[in-house]
Amino acid sequence: MPENNSPADNKIKNKNMKQVKEGDVVKVHYTGKLVNGEQFDSSTGREPLEFTVGAGQMIKGFDDAMPGMSLGEKKTINIAAENAYGERSEEAIIEFPKENVPADMVLEPGMPLTLSNQAGQPVPVIVVEVKEEVIILDANHFLAGQELIFDIELVEIL
């Protein structure tokens, strides 16, 4: 007996379309903007971003937006600072001994540098001030304290 494919049946089938769940590996295209509209990152012109949902590879607000999305779906999300790169921390403003800087290196406020933490991982910092004995560095993420807006398009569920 042939199947009856009424429009109601099609709606049911669409609802059963695969949706993202925690643990899925997904590929997305995205554009990240600040509240003032300034774009800070985008996958446009690049391969889509691949990550495992819920594995802590992405900022919390981005990760939290993925479950329930269907293939081809687009959405815009606003992520508060605490679910993005956190609030700015005064503890991330550090004094670095000038004697640990190569003598031929000219440092200026606003200059980006990379330090290494105890585990040898790179830590990007910005020179805030150059004093006689120390350099004041800001190790806050450049997006710390910012509400972020992302346009996301789910392009693949692996």
Q: Is residue 3 situated within a structural domain?
A: no
Nearest to 80 by CA among 62, 94, 67: 62
Question: 78 versus 1: which is more confidently predicted?
Answer: 78
pLDDT, position 116: 87
Mean pLDDT of 83-107: 94
Specify the 3-state DSSP secondary structure of 62.
Answer: helix
Amino acid identity, position 75 = K
Rounded CA gap, 41 and 26, in Å?
Answer: 19
Q: Are residues 97 and 75 in the same domain?
A: no
Q: Is residue 19 situated within a structural domain?
A: no
HSE-CB at 29 with a 13 A cutoff on CA atoms is: 10
Number of domains in the chain: 2
Rg of the chain (C-alpha set): 22
Over the stretch 42-53, which tens digit does the pLDDT of each residue have? 999 999 999 999
What's the domain range around 50?
24-85+144-157
pLDDT, position 132: 93
Task: Compute CA 133 distance to the chain's CA centroid, rounded to the nearest angstrom.
Answer: 35
Specify the 3-state DSSP secondary structure of 91.
Answer: helix
Over the stretch 18-30, which tens digit does the pLDDT of each residue have? 999 999 999 999 9
Q: Is residue 16 situated within a structural domain?
A: no
